[in-house]
Chains A and B, each alone.
Chain A
Amino acid sequence: SQQGEEDPQALSIQEGENATMNCSYKTSINNLQWYRQNSGRGLVHLILIRSNEREKHSGRLRVTLDTSKKSSSLLITASRAADTASYFCATDGRVSGGYNKLIFGAGTRLAVHP
C-alpha cells in the first residue's frame, strides 16, 4: 500500500506561474524525498528533507515538511514548459540499518503550458 497521498492528482498552469503540490503520509519517517518522472521514464531525484528540517530550497524548488501533520509540500516557482512531468513524494517509513526502501505517493501530473 502507498504511504503517501498527493494532492492534486493533476495540475495545469501557464509558464511563469507557481505550482504547489502537497503530500501526506501515514507513519513516522526519517526523511521525505521528491522525485520527478518525465512521461514513463526513470525518476529523477529533486530534493531530500530530513524529519528534523522544516524547509529546504534547491534552485526554483522549495519543500516544506510538517511532521506533526505528516505532510509536505513542493513549490516550483516561475514554472517552465520543461517542468511538465509527474512529481512523486516518497518516504522511508523509518527503516533502520541503512536499508533503502522508498514508499511512493500516487503522484501529481503537472502540465505547464507555454
Chain B
Amino acid sequence: KAGVTQTPRYLIKTRGQQVTLSCSPISGHRSVSWYQQTPGQGLQFLFEYFSETQRNKGNFPGRFSGRQFSNSRSEMNVSTLELGDSALYLCASSPRTSGGGTDTQYFGPGTRLTVL
C-alpha cells in the first residue's frame, strides 16, 4: 500500500496570509491526525478527524482548522499566518475505529511551512 502523502512538501508564506495543507491517508485508514513540530514546542497534536468529523482537538487557536472528505483525505488550514506558525506539519493516519487507546500512527513526510 502507498504510504501517507502530504502536499506540498515545502511552502513559503508571508505574515497575514493563509495556507492550506493536504494529506492523503493510507488506503482504508479512516482516522487522520495532524501534528505541528517546532524546535521550541516539539511535537504537538492539532486535531483528529474520523468519518469527516473532528473527534479531538489540541490546544491551538481558532486560526487552525481542518476538515476531512468522504474519501478520508484531509486538509488543514491556517489563517492569518504568524511567524510562530513556521513549523513542520505532520499528518498521520490509522485504521482504528474502536476504543483501546491510540492506535499506531502512520506518518507522512510532512509539509515544511516557513512564514516570513
* Contacts from A to B (Cβ < 8 Å): 2, 29-31, 33, 35, 40-45, 48, 50-51, 88, 90, 92, 94-107
CB distance A100 to B107 under 8 Å? Answer: no
B56-71 residues at the A interface, CB under 8 angstroms: 56, 58
Q: Which residue of B lies closest to A104 (CB)?
A: B43
Contact A95-B90, Cβ < 8 Å, known A100-B31, A101-B45:
no
Bound together, the chains give a CA A2 to CA B4 distance in angstroms of 25
A-B contact pairs, 30 of them (CB 8 A): A2-B42, A29-B101, A30-B100, A33-B105, A35-B107, A41-B109, A42-B4, A42-B107, A42-B109, A43-B90, A43-B92, A45-B105, A45-B106, A90-B43, A95-B102, A97-B55, A98-B50, A98-B100, A99-B48, A99-B55, A100-B31, A100-B33, A100-B92, A100-B102, A101-B45, A101-B56, A101-B58, A102-B43, A103-B45, A107-B42
The docked-state distance in angstroms from the alpha carbon of A98 to that of B98 is: 4
A44 touches B107 (CB 8 A): yes
Q: Which residues of B contact A (CB under 8 A)?
A: 4, 31, 33, 35, 42-45, 48, 50, 55-56, 58, 88, 90, 92, 94, 96-110, 112
Contact B101–A97 (Cβ < 8 Å): no
The 10 nearest A-B residue pairs measured at CB: A30-B101, A92-B102, A104-B43, A42-B107, A43-B107, A31-B101, A42-B109, A99-B56, A98-B98, A100-B102
